[in-house]
Amino acid sequence: MGSIGTFLTRTRGYGRFDVVDFATYLYLFFGTIVMFGPILWLVLSSFKTSAEVVKFPPRLLPYRQETVAVKGYDEPLSIYNVTLEDGSTQVLAQVRRIGLEGQMVDPANPDEIIKVHINDRQPVESVVFSLDNFVEGIQSFNFLRYLINSIIVTVFATALTLLVNSMAAFALSKYQFRGSTTIFLVMIGTLMVPLSVILVPVFLVITGVGWNNNLLGVIVPGAATPTGVFLLRQYMLTIPDELIDAARIDGASEWRIYTQIILPLAKPALAVLTIFSVMWRWNDFLWPLIVLSRSELFTLQVGLNSFQGELNVQWHLILAMTVVTLLPITIVFAILQRNITAGIATTGMK
């Protein structure tokens, strides 16, 4: 308690814990609950059984009724604390329930059926973080397929984005050639035009190329991002031209200059673009939604959305699959957090 007290009353060197300091930590405290609470609630809920998930009011932790294998019964029976007529309590296993009456047996003495009013029994429960929902969700809803599709799209699209954009950025930053200004201005001009504005014609082009219901239709079109070219070009402009001239005198080909000099020196900018590309592609929804209509090609996002639209909402499976979807990006965030926040702060893009 003492350390918490010192922590809370620590100030910026005036020796007095003022109102502003108090408000600051109050804001941070509630901010943390609001920002992180929903995600924690999702994760806790994803471990609950289908019965526990629909229970109202909900309980914080994933409780699960304990079961016991009883001789003479194929299925394991759920166990209850039962208050008997004489006032004593006993742990019994329920065989079946008929109306307001539960037919119970003593696990030690399975032959004798004891009839108990359902109000006289309390389920024996314990907190179990079971992976049942995850296993069932992955098996019954083709999620493994969606997961693989998402990984394929993210990896190949990011590789293509890096290659194509860095090549273009190299040309636009280190060469003077006819049309370079035009190309750059057209790209800047479309920097802010979103896909949402050109939905119909994009779909026509993809149909024309024969890429609807093909992962290529998701991977290739978004690879030439003006944002990526712009980011890399601005960074490459800072690489001194003398390095390139020296390499040229030594007889290096232009491609060599690009791979041996430009790419290694542009690593920080490439890292930022990699992180963004992974984030964009993993979380992308609208483009795959348009391009893919066969469910075996769905990415996680499209799959998850179509799955929540189904008639009877099976929340316990949806929650588990939502956790699966957010896990990879969370790991990326945990590892690269500093690079991500620094990247956004300096480039101002997402």
Nearer to other proteins by Cβ, of 116 and 324: the residue is: 324
Nearest-approach distance from CB 239 to other proteins, in angstroms? 15
CB 76 within 8 A of CB 94: no
Nearer to other proteins by Cβ, of 124 and 315: the residue is: 315
Nearer to other proteins by Cβ, of 94 and 322: the residue is: 322
Nearest-approach distance from CB 321 to other proteins, in angstroms? 9
Nearest-approach distance from CB 104 to other proteins, in angstroms? 30
Bridge partners, residue 91, by sequence: 81
| Most distant CA pair in the chain, distance | 102
Residue 180 to residue 341: CA distance in whole angstroms: 32
Nearer to other proteins by Cβ, of 101 and 310: the residue is: 310
Query: Which contacts qualify for 258-267: CB closer than 8 Å, 24 or more apart?
Result: 258/166, 258/167, 258/170, 262/166, 262/170, 262/174, 262/236, 263/166, 265/239, 266/166, 266/169, 266/232, 266/235, 266/236, 266/239
Helix (H, G, I), strand (E, B) or coil at 63: strand
Quote the tokens at residue 254: 């232009």
Nearer to other proteins by Cβ, of 78 and 315: the residue is: 315
CB 265 within 8 A of CB 239: yes
Nearest-approach distance from CB 100 to other proteins, in angstroms? 24
266 DSSP 8-state letter: T
Dihedral sign, Cα of residue 219, residue 222, residue 227, residue 229? positive
Nearer to other proteins by Cβ, of 115 and 178: the residue is: 178
Nearest-approach distance from CB 323 to other proteins, in angstroms? 9
Nearest-approach distance from CB 77 to other proteins, in angstroms? 28
Nearer to other proteins by Cβ, of 92 and 223: the residue is: 223
Nearest-approach distance from CB 313 to other proteins, in angstroms? 9
CB 49 within 8 A of CB 132: yes
Nearest-approach distance from CB 112 to other proteins, in angstroms? 39
Residue 145 to residue 298: CA distance in whole angstroms: 8
Nearest-approach distance from CB 56 to other proteins, in angstroms? 4
Nearer to other proteins by Cβ, of 87 and 177: the residue is: 177
CB 247 within 8 A of CB 260: yes
CA 50 to chain CA centroid, Å, is: 22
Nearer to other proteins by Cβ, of 213 and 259: the residue is: 259
CB 183 within 8 A of CB 262: no
Nearer to other proteins by Cβ, of 90 and 337: the residue is: 337
Quote the tokens at residue 29: 């405290």
Nearest-approach distance from CB 287 to other proteins, in angstroms? 10
Bridge partners, residue 96, by sequence: 103
Tokens 């994009």 belong to 202
Residue 272 to residue 233: CA distance in whole angstroms: 13
